[in-house]
């Protein structure tokens, strides 16, 4: 996309700006949809209706929330560390927004064809930890300090199983770039990595169980990275009131919510690329059958967003059924179970790819 715009405008800054705006617009629209979607999903799961009065079935609910938050008075506590207090939400949002640079929405619409795509995404998404620590420390409130400590420990320790599973996938596919990874899993669902990858052969059937184990490990650890139940300890309402954003008001708090939902989608996007064939459609393209290849990038985009939203829905589904883990149980799950399994999985996949 950047190259395409660069040829038109001839000026890198404008091209860069436009390509950066596309994911930003997508995130804003997605967050407006996702907040409403979560309230409706949780409502219908709990035998009630959810927002109904604000638009047709409460569709404008998040717009109303957003405009109301614009009008809120911006309170910064007197003893709070003023500068850090305002930088923290920006840093947290920057961390999760930057990850969208390398996510390929379709073969044409792609931030920047970065060779080291997956490596970049994992590195940049740990920027969020710095923002959270800043928020916790600067709001000068015991609850947010406790919340920030916990979430920093949680995100840092759950990066390791994610990295290990990503390593095993990179070993299998041989490339770091997300775009190539998606292309390799051609347009039929049995070629996806979850079913053992594109090359037909004995190794493909051997791989299937370990692919499922890898998928489960990476799904659990990305759940923890995004602070969703059963790992949402940093903002555990019942204990720490509201975790690290206890002191935040109006738009600053909206930035935290924006980055949480943006993170949710970017994490689901990574999982679809790694295991479920990125923007490839499971049943072949309408564009090919109708003989209009120009249609394919849009179809790919639609498939990609559909898969992403499905995984976001599963995250919401988990949130409203499972209780919450305690901090030390969360650490034992990561260090005693996820990381050893991820290592074993890595070794076995390595051996199989050598066959």
Partner 1 sequence: MGLLDKEFSDGNIVITKVEDLFNWARLSSIWQLGFGLACCAIEMMATSASHYDFDRFGVIPRNTPRQADAIIISGTVTLKMAIRIKRLYEQMPDPKYIISMGSCSNCGGPYWEHGYHVLKGVDRVIPVDVYVPGCPPRPEALLEGLLKLQEKIRNESLRTHSV
Partner 2 sequence: MALKTETMVLNMGPQHPSTHGVLRLELELEGEVIVNVKPHIGYLHRCFEKHAEVMTYPQVIPYTDRMDYLASMSNNFGYVVAVEKLLGIQVPDRVQYIRVIMAELQRIASHLVALGTNGLDIGAFTPFLYLFRDREHILSLFEMTCGARLLYNYMWVGGLSHDIHPDFVRLTKEFVNYFRPTITELNNLLTFNKIFIERTANIGILPLDTAINFGATGPVLRGSGLAFDLRREDPYSIYDRFNFEIPTGKGLVGTIGDCWDRYYVRVLEMEQSLRIIEQAIDPIPEGDVQSAIPKRVKPPKGTVYSRTENPRGELGYFIISDGNVNPFRIKVRGPSFVNLELMGELCKGHLVADVIAILGSIDIVLGEVDR
Residue ranges in contact with partner 2 by CB under 8 A: 42, 45-48, 142-143, 146, 229-230, 232-233, 236-241, 320-329
Cα four-point dihedral sign 57, 62, 64, 68: positive
On whether the CB atoms of residues 105 and 279 are closer than 8 A, the answer is: yes
Single residue of 207, 242, 270, 333 touching partner 1 by CB under 8 A: 242
CB of 235: closest distance to partner 1 in angstroms?
9
With b for 16 or more beta-carbon neighbours within 10 A and e for fewer, the 73-103 pattern comes to eeebeeebbeebbebbbebbbbbbbbbbbbb
Answer with the entry of partner 1, partner 2, none that 215 interacts with (C-beta below 5 to 8 A by kind): none
Residue 136 contacts which entry, partner 1, partner 2, none (Cβ below 5-8 A, type-dependent): none
Instruction: Decide if residue 61 touches partner 1 (CB under 8 A).
Output: yes
Q: How far is the CB of 274 from partner 2 (least distance, A)?
A: 26
The size of the chain, in residues, is: 355
- What helix, strand, coil percent values describe the chain, rounded to 5? 75, 0, 25
CA distance 230 to 269: 20
Backbone angles phi, psi at 163, to 5 degrees: -60, -40
* Closest CB to partner 1 among residues 257, 271: 257
Query: Which residues, other chains included, contact 339 with Cβ-Cβ below 8 Å and sequence gap of 6+?
Result: 160, 161, 164
Of 35 and 169, which has the nearer Cβ to partner 2?
A: 35
CB of 273 to partner 2, least distance (A): 29
Give the one residue of 7, 47, 291, 355 binding partner 1; rule: CB under 8 A. Answer: 47
DSSP 276: S
Query: Using CB under 8 A, which residues numbered 276 to 335 contact partner 1?
Result: none
83 binding partner (options partner 1, partner 2, none; Cβ < 5 to 8 Å by kind) = none
Size of the site for partner 1 (CB under 8 A): 35
Q: Among 18, 20, 39, 87, which residue sits at the site for partner 1 (rule: CB under 8 A)?
A: 39
Using omega within 30 degrees of 0 as the cis cutoff, is the peptide bond preceding 230 cis? yes
Partner that binds at residue 74, options partner 1, partner 2, none, CB closer than 5 to 8 Å by kind: partner 1
Residue 328 touches which of partner 2, partner 1, none (CB < 5 to 8 A by kind)? partner 2
Distances from the Cα of 282 to the Cαs of 197, 198, 272, in angstroms? 13, 13, 12
């Amino acid at each position: 996309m950047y190259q395409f715009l660069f040829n038109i405008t001839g000026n890198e800054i404008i091209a860069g700006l436009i390509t950066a705006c596309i994911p930003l617009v997508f995130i804003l629209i997605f967050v407006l949809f996702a907040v409403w979607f979560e309230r409706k999903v949780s409502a219908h799961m709990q035998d009630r209706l959810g927002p109904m009065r604000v638009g047709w079935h409460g569709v404008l609910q998040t717009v109303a929330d957003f405009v109301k938050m614009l009008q809120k008075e911006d309170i910064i506590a007197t003893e709070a560390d003023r500068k850090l207090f305002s930088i923290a939400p920006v840093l947290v949002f920057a961390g999760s927004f930057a990850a969208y640079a390398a996510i390929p929405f379709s073969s044409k619409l792609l931030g920047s064809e970065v060779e080291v795509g997956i490596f970049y995404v994992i590195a940049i998404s740990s920027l969020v930890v710095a923002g959270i620590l800043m928020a916790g420390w600067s709001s000068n409130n015991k609850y947010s300090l406790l919340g920030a400590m916990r979430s920093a420990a949680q995100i840092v320790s759950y990066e390791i199983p994610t990295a290990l599973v990503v390593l095993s996938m990179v070993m299998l596919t041989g490339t770091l770039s997300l775009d190539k990874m998606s292309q390799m899993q051609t347009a039929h669902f049995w070629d996806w990595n979850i079913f053992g990858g594109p090359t037909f052969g004995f190794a493909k059937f051997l791989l299937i169980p370990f692919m499922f184990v890898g998928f489960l490990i990476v799904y659990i650890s990305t759940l923890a990275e995004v602070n969703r139940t059963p790992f949402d300890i940093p903002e555990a309402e019942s204990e720490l009131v509201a975790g690290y954003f206890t002191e935040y008001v109006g738009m600053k708090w909206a930035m935290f919510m924006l980055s949480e939902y943006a993170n949710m989608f970017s994490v689901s996007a990574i999982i679809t690329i790694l295991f479920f064939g990125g923007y490839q459609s499971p049943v072949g393209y309408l564009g090919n059958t109708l003989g209009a290849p120009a249609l394919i990038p849009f179809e790919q985009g639609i498939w990609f967003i559909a898969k992403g939203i499905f995984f976001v829905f599963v995250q919401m589904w988990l949130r409203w059924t499972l209780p919450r883990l305690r901090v030390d149980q969360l650490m034992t799950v990561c260090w005693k179970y996820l990381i050893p399994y991820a290592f074993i999985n890595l070794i076995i996949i390595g051996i199989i790819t050598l066959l």
